[in-house]
Amino acid sequence: MKRLNGRHANQLRSIRITRNYTKYAEGSALIEFGDTKVICTVSVENGVPRFLKGQGQGWLTAEYGMLPRATGTRNQREAIRGKQGGRTLEIQRLIGRSLRAALDMSKLNDVTLYVDCDVIQADGGTRTASITGAMVALVDALKVMKKCGDLKANDLLKHMIASVSVGMYKGEPMLDLDYLEDSSAETDLNVVMTSTGSFIEIQGTAEITPFQLADLNAMLTLAQKGITEIFKLQNAILAN
Amino acid sequence: MKRLNGRHANQLRSIRITRNYTKYAEGSALIEFGDTKVICTVSVENGVPRFLKGQGQGWLTAEYGMLPRATGTRNQREAIRGKQGGRTLEIQRLIGRSLRAALDMSKLNDVTLYVDCDVIQADGGTRTASITGAMVALVDALKVMKKCGDLKANDLLKHMIASVSVGMYKGEPMLDLDYLEDSSAETDLNVVMTSTGSFIEIQGTAEITPFQLADLNAMLTLAQKGITEIFKLQNAILAN
Amino acid sequence: MKRLNGRHANQLRSIRITRNYTKYAEGSALIEFGDTKVICTVSVENGVPRFLKGQGQGWLTAEYGMLPRATGTRNQREAIRGKQGGRTLEIQRLIGRSLRAALDMSKLNDVTLYVDCDVIQADGGTRTASITGAMVALVDALKVMKKCGDLKANDLLKHMIASVSVGMYKGEPMLDLDYLEDSSAETDLNVVMTSTGSFIEIQGTAEITPFQLADLNAMLTLAQKGITEIFKLQNAILAN
Amino acid sequence: MKRLNGRHANQLRSIRITRNYTKYAEGSALIEFGDTKVICTVSVENGVPRFLKGQGQGWLTAEYGMLPRATGTRNQREAIRGKQGGRTLEIQRLIGRSLRAALDMSKLNDVTLYVDCDVIQADGGTRTASITGAMVALVDALKVMKKCGDLKANDLLKHMIASVSVGMYKGEPMLDLDYLEDSSAETDLNVVMTSTGSFIEIQGTAEITPFQLADLNAMLTLAQKGITEIFKLQNAILAN
Amino acid sequence: MKRLNGRHANQLRSIRITRNYTKYAEGSALIEFGDTKVICTVSVENGVPRFLKGQGQGWLTAEYGMLPRATGTRNQREAIRGKQGGRTLEIQRLIGRSLRAALDMSKLNDVTLYVDCDVIQADGGTRTASITGAMVALVDALKVMKKCGDLKANDLLKHMIASVSVGMYKGEPMLDLDYLEDSSAETDLNVVMTSTGSFIEIQGTAEITPFQLADLNAMLTLAQKGITEIFKLQNAILAN
Amino acid sequence: MKRLNGRHANQLRSIRITRNYTKYAEGSALIEFGDTKVICTVSVENGVPRFLKGQGQGWLTAEYGMLPRATGTRNQREAIRGKQGGRTLEIQRLIGRSLRAALDMSKLNDVTLYVDCDVIQADGGTRTASITGAMVALVDALKVMKKCGDLKANDLLKHMIASVSVGMYKGEPMLDLDYLEDSSAETDLNVVMTSTGSFIEIQGTAEITPFQLADLNAMLTLAQKGITEIFKLQNAILAN
């Protein structure tokens, strides 16, 4: 079955990552999954949150936002609503947990890394694109820290992290859903994996029809395939 | 391996559900998973949110809260902080999605069901207890609606829903983690299922160590076993 | 005149106090005045507010909340409204002032007691029940502090405190109004007293008809009678 | 015993009421109780709150504020804190309840009266001054409404309202406490009465020492004396 | 052309400044530009904002507010809206910048001056009246600081500051617009100047018709004339 | 005098405008003034604010934001602070006023145009770049509306609008300050003009040294020169 967008069921969208997209941040990237575009920056600041003070550890925290007209109809600006919505909080908590899993925090002495993922244009998969793009910006920020003498050792980075969404669409597993597909998929599954092939996070939601264990395993297989390709891309980009 | 709390790896805590726990709500239940205690109420109100107006549909929305001293150390009251935290929003969105999956909304004409889950005492698994307890309160609320002539047909309820948490603890899958276990578990997985044996939601997070596909399947098997027992309990309670 | 609820004008509702209702708080109680049910906890924390720093004193502060469906029709959750309402603030200020009057703060060295009163079900008199129940939880919290060596002397507690509401209903003074009575009472008077027979707080409001000095004195006499009975109950409960 | 400020125990401060203090409001007054100065305005607007729609009734609501430097040390502006404090809400609720007791709301057809009391300078007794001053502004606003044909009948105003504070100071009852006296008074009692000699509201708080029934009655006698003088003043001012 | 209010195009309204209008603030003034009335206070507090800590400097910050019925129709109280509006923030930033330009902050060692401008009645030109009145209160506050030994040198005050609005009204430049004129002026220009004849701030807005360079220069000439008169008035008031 | 950045005093930075930068908005542009980069979108929605209802008019409103790491050091996200800052509000009010001056609102029947200007990277002049870029996006949005039949006439657009900043830097007037220059400029002046050569808005602030009338006229001359060049650029871009 060909998809509306012409892709095969197991085919990723065209992915582009532009490193050093902004001039101030220690690490930054523009990541594009088809028409989904996210600016990811990593900022390095001294100090840690109160619950970590005096433990010789570091911290990483993430924030997520969307420009009001990143979507088909304009959304109210969260700064005007006076608070971040539930979806935003859910996503930025996921990004933070995922990237913290890439680092050995005990080697990040009293430093906080702020990850900002701001969606310029949304066409499905913004949270998985954010994690994947922020990982690249994070590697660049670590390099800057090392150059500045902030990091003594190489082993702060435990492994790379990448993420993709999969779904059940008309009864078939599909890789990397765009907005149209996502809107009518029966099930939506976000997967975060390490470059060593383990899982960091899986979040599956039956939007319309409950799913079976077999569906889950089929979707996870597809996700593994997609994430393997994404790791290749991350490596290629970072090798330049 | 015996657990600290004396349970077997595949053993649920003692679960108690007290129906009609409060006198005003159309449906209500106190659910206890060991020392975790949650008051669940379902309130029926006329009207639907703006995005559903004029479609002849109904809606169900959930809110979650915790008394400040439901936990070992006191948490700031969210009404004083001026907003619900990210964890709260994440949980109440999960409860809402899960319970909506139990109903055929198109038969709930211009009515909104408000589900409130308030944790009186927290010892791990508050979100899964909330879903499980609210399902019972929801059935009772539907009965009240039917008595009052609000519902024409029997088939509003598609199936029952229940939820449990599982985790990897010292390398082994464990059912229904309490707070102590949850704090040191490598992986935490929340599972929501239908009484017809399908999945509504799975959310797995590697807190410490990434997990493997085999771990995931072992945890899901355990979750299915636990949820099957919980469905029996729900049925028994509702049969009284 | 018999009341709608079958009580005599000078008769309290059935009052029950369950000590140690929750497992974490230093002191806790469930108090029931008929169908009004409030969970009261007292949490002990090191540190005092800024205005007391360095004075060797302690502090006690109270917060009050209501579950959304504690009442006949559901109220919006204050954590979602983004602030506590005027009624809530008024009540929690009253609870705090009343309980502070029970203690010699100068002997509570750099410790803050947080009193949380959360209404599970409301049928009139929630503020007076809160004060009465929190007093019991406070005594238990002081015992825990003493066991832990936090308190050197016995005389921190100056006297017990209890509270009840009275009102003018169809021209007659009535003790301990329930919600139905309260809604149509001409005057509502909340009274807080010490176990030594003095007044800590009186708040009287003519809801419908202005009241006379004679009415006030009749209501106060009734309140004194009711509070004397409540002190007996508190003592009996604490003697177990 | 002479008071610090040279007054007798039963002596009011010098009270001045300036009618029509601002040019836009339907009714307005500057009230001065010694150094306490409050601008009171009454604004007339069409429409009523939702809970009164379609009942042919009116409503009156009050708001209270204090300029940041109305006091000895500057207070943070509530518009910057982002919310009104508990004391502010408590006071404005009291002002609203008190003034509503002066009117027959059923004759105020679909009109809302907004009472604003803004303290320019605070030296004790701001809430009682606010009620007393706003009553005068309210009478003037009713006259404007009548001129404009908004009110068919004379009997909207049931009676005048006035308020004063009394207290126990060094064991003696004192009338109309200023800030210095209030800060060290054992008990503080705010009294609102009708011009027909009945009580609308009494709020007594033992700040330092619990009070006896005899104290309460002595304070109320003093309050009645003071309020009687205030009614004379209100009448004289309104007669001009 | 005579103006609606009878003034000449280059004529200020009657301006009155009452020094020491409130008893607590280190400096205070009531300023009246015709029917526009603003209470200005200057409060002196130890400490500076974080970004100035440890630099031996001082700071001045301004806040602006309006009583709800300072205007023809009542505005919602900002403390109830939960935030200051854009206009308010814009004005208080202007007041702060303008008055900071009057002082040599490096001689104001670790002290913050809080300027509060609260509009009691608004009839156009509230921001320019605020700046002009607050300047007088500031001089008085500096005198108090000097008396108290807080200031070693005379030269903290670099020059006086005053402000006026001008506009194009029916094609002609007009000085000191009142509300009616301002509402229908083509262009509105606020000017802040030093007593040494230089500009601190100009803000010109074409409300209806774009303006030409010649208009701008005509308006500035008028503003200079008006501000010169205002400086004379400030000096006369401060000489008493 | 050569500037630090190598430009002449009267030289603009390199300006680039990319039309249709995002795929959903009716009009959109990325505008770059050197390293300052702003995404401008114009969204067309039916309906007008309450104060315009039933008048057959339209409205245009603008919002401004900055990505947290658009600057050298990271700023807190306004959605997390819970409100927009004073600077943000001031800028978005300026953008809105300026663009409204370009349109004949009476021909925009019951439609609201939302202008969003989001700064991706900030290097001085973000507000003037926002106005200039949003003008281009606005023209494209009007074209879309016309294609869709929303606009009957050509004359909705009265003229183009553009904006630039100028300043006094080391005693000399300079065009289009970058961040480094702006930080140490004595005076900063933002100018908004029509393509017909008139002024819409001028805002001049003496940051360090008060300025003279001659300085102002020199800066305005420079601004006119710069804006004339910008209009040429806008026209060239729109001609493609």
Provide the percentage of residues in chain F whose pLDDT is more than 90.
86
pLDDT digits 0-9 by tens, B189-220: 999 999 999 999 999 999 889 999 999 999 99
With bands split at pLDDT 50, 70 and 90, how would you rate the model's confidence at B149? Answer: confident
List CB contacts (< 8 A) between E28 and chain D.
69
Region B45-53 average pLDDT: 92
- CA-based nearest distance B126→chain C, Å: 15
Burial zone of D197 (CB within 10 Å; 0-12 exposed, 13-18 middle, 19+ buried)? middle
F7 marked as binding residue = no
Region F158-179 average pLDDT: 96
- CA-based nearest distance F28→chain A, Å: 10
Region E80-108 average pLDDT: 95
With bands split at pLDDT 50, 70 and 90, how would you rate the model's confidence at E1? Answer: low
The per-residue pLDDT of chain E, averaged, comes to 94
List CB contacts (< 8 A) between C216 and chain D.
199, 202, 220
Q: Compute the distance between CA of residue C33 and CA of residue C26 in angstroms, rounded to an integer.
A: 23
Q: Compute the distance between CA of residue A136 and CA of residue D156 in angstroms, rounded to an integer.
A: 73
Q: Nearest CA to F165 among F226, F88, F96, F95?
A: F226
With bands split at pLDDT 50, 70 and 90, how would you rate the model's confidence at C1? Answer: low
Q: Compute the distance between CA of residue F122 and CA of residue A23 in angstroms, rounded to an integer.
A: 10
With bands split at pLDDT 50, 70 and 90, how would you rate the model's confidence at A2? Answer: confident
Give the predicted TM-score (pTM) of the model: 0.94
The per-residue pLDDT of chain D, averaged, comes to 94
pLDDT digits 0-9 by tens, E218-239: 999 999 999 999 999 999 999 9
Chain A residue with minimum CA distance to F72: A24
pLDDT surpassing 70 at residue F230: yes
C196/D contact by beta carbon, under 8 A: yes
Region B167-179 average pLDDT: 95
Q: Compute the distance between CA of residue A139 and CA of residue A27 in angstroms, rounded to an integer.
A: 7
A169/B contact by beta carbon, under 8 A: no
Calculate ∠ Cα D148-D153-D157, nearest 5°.
95
pLDDT for the residue numbered A148: 83
**More confident position, F240 or B13:** B13
With bands split at pLDDT 50, 70 and 90, how would you rate the model's confidence at B124? Answer: very high
pLDDT for the residue numbered E218: 97
List CB contacts (< 8 A) between D90 and chain C.
86, 89-90, 93
pLDDT surpassing 60 at residue E5: yes
The per-residue pLDDT of chain B, averaged, comes to 94
Low-confidence stretches of chain D (pLDDT < 50) are none
C80/B contact by beta carbon, under 8 A: yes
Beta strands in F125-232 (DSSP E): 161-169, 172-175, 187-194, 199-206
Considering only the beta carbons, identify the residue of E201, E205, E210 that sits closest to F198.
E210
pLDDT digits 0-9 by tens, A22-67: 999 999 999 999 999 999 999 999 999 999 998 889 999 999 999 9
- CA-based nearest distance C110→chain B, Å: 17
DSSP state of A100: H
The per-residue pLDDT of chain F, averaged, comes to 94
Q: Compute the distance between CA of residue B166 and CA of residue B224 in angstroms, rounded to an integer.
A: 10
Region E204-208 average pLDDT: 90
- CA-based nearest distance E62→chain D, Å: 11
pLDDT surpassing 90 at residue A155: no
pLDDT digits 0-9 by tens, D168-209: 998 999 999 999 999 999 999 999 999 999 999 999 999 889
Chain D adjacent subunits, 3+ CB pairs under 8 A: C, E
E92/F contact by beta carbon, under 8 A: yes
Structure tokens at F233: 């650029």
pLDDT for the residue numbered B27: 98
β B111-121/B59-66 pair status: parallel
Residues A158-168: b if buried by 16+ CB within 10 A, e if exposed: ebbbbbbbbbb
pLDDT surpassing 90 at residue C48: yes
Interchain proximity B25–C80, CB inside 8 Å: no
> What ipTM goes with this model?
0.95
Region C128-146 average pLDDT: 96
Substitution target from E40, E60, E77 for chain D, most D beta carbons within 10 A:
E77
Residues with Cβ within 8 Å of residue D33, at least 6 apart in sequence: D12, D13, D15, D123, D124, D125, D128, D129, D132, D176
Q: Nearest CA to F121 among F238, F63, F39, F12?
A: F39
Interchain proximity A114–F74, CB inside 8 Å: yes
List CB contacts (< 8 A) between F87 and chain E.
93
**More confident position, B94 or B153:** B94
Region E141-152 average pLDDT: 83
pLDDT digits 0-9 by tens, B54-71: 888 999 999 999 999 999
Specify whether the backbone of A193 is left (phi greater than 0), alpha (psi in -120 to 50) or beta.
beta
pLDDT surpassing 80 at residue A175: yes
Residues with Cβ within 8 Å of residue C68, at least 6 apart in sequence: B41, B43, B63, B114, B116, C74, C75, C76, C77
Alpha helix stretches (DSSP H) within chain E:
78-81, 86-100, 126-147, 179-184, 213-239
Query: Do B115 and B95 touch, CB atoms closer than 8 A?
Result: yes
Considering only the beta carbons, identify the residue of B25, B68, B118 that sits closest to C63.
B68
Region C137-141 average pLDDT: 96
pLDDT digits 0-9 by tens, F77-91: 999 999 999 999 999
Chain C adjacent subunits, 3+ CB pairs under 8 A: B, D
With bands split at pLDDT 50, 70 and 90, how would you rate the model's confidence at A160? Answer: very high
List CB contacts (< 8 A) between A81 and chain F.
79
Q: Give the distance between the most distant pair of CA atoms in chain C.
A: 57
Chain E adjacent subunits, 3+ CB pairs under 8 A: D, F
Provide the percentage of residues in chain C whose pLDDT is more than 90.
86
Interchain proximity E90–F89, CB inside 8 Å: yes
With bands split at pLDDT 50, 70 and 90, how would you rate the model's confidence at F1? Answer: low
Chain A adjacent subunits, 3+ CB pairs under 8 A: B, F
pLDDT for the residue numbered C152: 62
Q: Compute the distance between CA of residue D173 and CA of residue D1 in angstroms, rounded to an integer.
A: 11
E49/D contact by beta carbon, under 8 A: no
Substitution target from C61, C87, C198, C222 for chain D, most D beta carbons within 10 A:
C198
pLDDT for the residue numbered C150: 67
Region E175-183 average pLDDT: 95
B118/C contact by beta carbon, under 8 A: yes
Q: Give the distance between the most distant pair of CA atoms in chain F.
A: 57
Chain A residue with minimum CA distance to B191: A204
Interchain proximity B28–C121, CB inside 8 Å: no
E73/F contact by beta carbon, under 8 A: no
Considering only the beta carbons, identify the residue of D25, D71, D79 that sits closest to E69.
D25
Look at the alpha carbons of E182, E188, E193, E197 in this order and tell me if their dihedral is positive or negative: negative
Q: Could you identify the residue written with the tokens 């599954």? A: A189
Region E53-73 average pLDDT: 95
